[in-house]
Structure 1
Amino acid sequence: MADPDPAYPAAVAVITALVQRGETVATCESLTGGLVGAAMTAVAGSSAAYRGGLVSYATDLKHTLAGVPQDLLEAQGAVAADTAAAMARGTAERCGADWGLATTGVAGPDPQEGHPPGTVFVAVVGAGAEPVVDRLALSGSRDEIRRASVQRLLERFAAVLAEAR
């Protein structure tokens, strides 16, 4: 593994661990718009572990593409812990991956569903394991919030992989 995007060093750890374990991952992204997948595929050799991803920026696509139950979206909205977990689970199933990752939240500049900018949920779901979902309260510009969301998700995933050994 060489020449990763220097902005996301955790991507190297994640891809290296997945390749060593013979496991795969898929991503479902909302506010990050594909940045998680881009960070992972910037790592040489990522094709052995990264299956692909969905960008479900619009709420209805969280249901139709990622399989988030419609009643969950209606009850909790797009910016919620359970929604993030369902996005991660759905993308792993649809992409045939061992692990699913998801990001959903508000990058700003305006609030969404009553949540202020910087409210973000990142999720990690693995086969047979309980979902790990973190609620983040980030600050900064729209770009800073999006990049911090990627970093925090990759760091959390690296930690989950280390614990799952």
Structure 2
Amino acid sequence: MTDAAGRAGAQDPALELSARIVARAAARGATIAVAESLTGGLVAETIVRTPGASTVLRLGVVAYATEMKHEVLRVPAPLLAARGPVDPEVAIAMARGVRQLAALDRSTCTLGVATTGVAGPAAQDGHPPGEFHIGVEVDTVHGRVAESTSHLVTGDREAVRREALLAALRLLDAALDRTDLRIHSESTP
């Protein structure tokens, strides 16, 4: 990384978080998969901008359309019908689905994270612009653990997407605090 690139990253909280996540995951042999809706690939792109990302990032999926959440990420159709795509349980289901997809070839992926929400400018199915949910699923020695966070922020589309990016990275970083992550020697390339 050049000095200019390093200074730019040091000023960008998302790149700082990404560098921390990549370093921590690599040190532990953990792998990550990302499913995105309202962020449209921003989380995966930010992780990829971090040197060493190839050792931890297994998969990134943009499932913008509701039917893609079901067909690709295996979010249950009854859940989508009952709650719609902007929901914390949907975010968790997306995280689970992308983690399972990323594990196809090696039977393991440590962390799945997902974003879903309304970037705006208009409301969607009764959800206001700025509402978003982040889901994470973690493979632990005690089984899978999932959680979500819900947010409502103000700002234009890019501001909402940026806040969702930061929230997703923060949730990933917090998941890496766990001492019970299931790590498999075949997890890394």
TM-score tier after normalising by the smaller chain length:
over 0.9
2:137 equivalent among 104, 122, 125: 125
Structure 1 letter corresponding to 2:60? G
How many residue pairs were aligned? 165
Instruction: Find out whether 1:84 has 2:99 as its counterpart.
Output: no
* Superposition TM-score, scaled by structure 2 size: 0.83
Structure 2 letter corresponding to 1:80? D
1:67 equivalent among 56, 66, 74: 74
**Matches of 2:179 and 2:171, distance apart in 1:** 12
Find runs of 4+ consecutive structure 1 residues off by over 3 angstroms: 1-5
Partner of 1:159: 174
Partner of 1:11: 18
**Matches of 1:130 and 1:113, distance apart in 2:** 29
Instruction: Find out whether 1:136 has 2:151 as its counterpart.
Output: yes
* Deviations 1:81-114 (CA, angstroms, capped at 9, x unpaired): 1100000000000111211000000000010110
Does structure 1 conserve the Cα–Cα contact (< 8 Å) formed by 2:138 and 2:175? no
> How many percent identity over aligned positions?
36
SS in 2 for 1:100: strand
**Matches of 1:54 and 1:159, distance apart in 2:** 22
Does structure 1 conserve the Cα–Cα contact (< 8 Å) formed by 2:95 and 2:114? yes
* Superposition TM-score, scaled by structure 1 size: 0.95
**Matches of 2:172 and 2:153, distance apart in 1:** 18
SS in 2 for 1:79: coil
**Matches of 1:156 and 1:58, distance apart in 2:** 24
Instruction: Find out whether 1:30 has 2:37 as its counterpart.
Output: yes
Structure 2: runs of 5+ lacking an equivalent: 104-108, 181-189
1:53 equivalent among 45, 51, 60: 60
Partner of 2:120: 108
Structure 2 letter corresponding to 1:12? A
**Matches of 1:164 and 1:30, distance apart in 2:** 29
- The CA deviation at 1:126 is 0.6
* Deviations 1:110-160 (CA, angstroms, capped at 9, x unpaired): 101100001000011111242120001111110000011001110121122
- The CA deviation at 1:23 is 1.1
Partner of 2:185: none
**Matches of 2:56 and 2:73, distance apart in 1:** 20
**Matches of 1:34 and 1:117, distance apart in 2:** 19
Does structure 1 conserve the Cα–Cα contact (< 8 Å) formed by 2:92 and 2:146? yes
Most deviating of 99-108 and 2-11: 2-11
**Matches of 1:116 and 1:140, distance apart in 2:** 12
**Matches of 1:66 and 1:126, distance apart in 2:** 16
**Matches of 1:114 and 1:51, distance apart in 2:** 34
